[in-house]
Amino acid sequence: MDEAPARMTAKPSWLLTQLAVHAHRLASAGFAAADARGYHFRILSALAEFGPASQAGLGRRCSMDRSDVVAAINELAERAFVERTPDPDDRRRNIVRLTKAGDRQLRRLDQALEQAQDELLGPLTAEDRQVLTGLLTRLLHHHQRG
């Protein structure tokens, strides 16, 4: 492969973009091996951490488009990973809950994602990984605020 220009490869934005491609590929492959998608992980994670929620609330919390939320919840419900029931306060709205099977699936997805992280960050020590995660978190929070 031809070498890319140094003025480009020395830019953090270029490096982050290139790594994002690898990160997405590794995570997607891990999820696919567990017969899942990234959207499934987002929804199951939110339900495990924050409890039952409306579909709209899950979309906001998981940064997902409404149609993607509905499709992912349909897939998860078909496999009994979540259950959807009418909201007693507003029958037009559904409340989504994590099931025991969904919790088991989430643990499988956690393992798949952990393996993807290990492959992506292989050359880094545990301390380097913590520093990188802290820096990326700080950058993301800065840009989300403003």
Residue 102 — pLDDT band, cuts 50, 70, 90?
Answer: very high
Q: What integer pLDDT is reported at residue 26 of this predicted model?
A: 97
Q: What CATH number does domain 13-118 carry, 3.40.1710.10, 3.30.565.10, 1.10.10.10, 2.40.160.10?
A: 1.10.10.10
SS3 of residue 13 by DSSP: helix
pTM: 0.88
Q: What angle do CA 99, 110, 33 make, to 5 degrees?
A: 95
